Chains A and B, each alone.
Chain A
Amino acid sequence: EAAVTQSPRNKVTVTGGNVTLSCRQTNSHNYMYWYRQDTGHGLRLIHYSYGAGNLQIGDVPDGYKATRTTQEDFFLLLELASPSQTSLYFCASRLRLNYAEQFFGPGTRLTVL
Chain B
Amino acid sequence: QEKVQQSPESLIVPEGAMVSLNCSFSDSASQSIWWYQQHPGKGPKALISIFSNGNKKEGRLTVYLNRASLHVSLHIKDSQPSDSAVYLCAVSSGGSNYKLTFGKGTLLTVTP
Contacts and interface: CB of A to CB of B under 8 A. Distances in A.
Interface of A: 4, 31, 40-45, 48, 50, 59, 90, 92, 94, 97-107
Given A41-B104, A42-B104, A43-B88, A99 B97 contact: yes
B98 A101 contact: no
Contacts of B98: 31, 48, 50, 94
Contacts of A101: 34, 46, 49
Contacts of A90: 43-44
Contact-size category for B:
20 to 34
* Complex A-B, nearest 9 residue pairs according to Cβ-Cβ distance, in ascending order: A104-B43, A100-B92, A100-B97, A42-B104, A43-B102, A97-B96, A42-B102, A104-B44, A101-B46
Contacts, number: 52
A102 B98 CA distance: 10
A105 B97 CA distance: 20
A31 B92 CA distance: 14
Contacts of B49: 100-101
Given A100-B97, A102-B100, A107-B42, 10 more contacts: A41-B104, A42-B102, A45-B101, A94-B98, A97-B96, A98-B96, A100-B34, A100-B100, A105-B43, A107-B41
Interface string B31-47: 11010000001111110
Contacts of B43: 4, 90, 92, 104-107
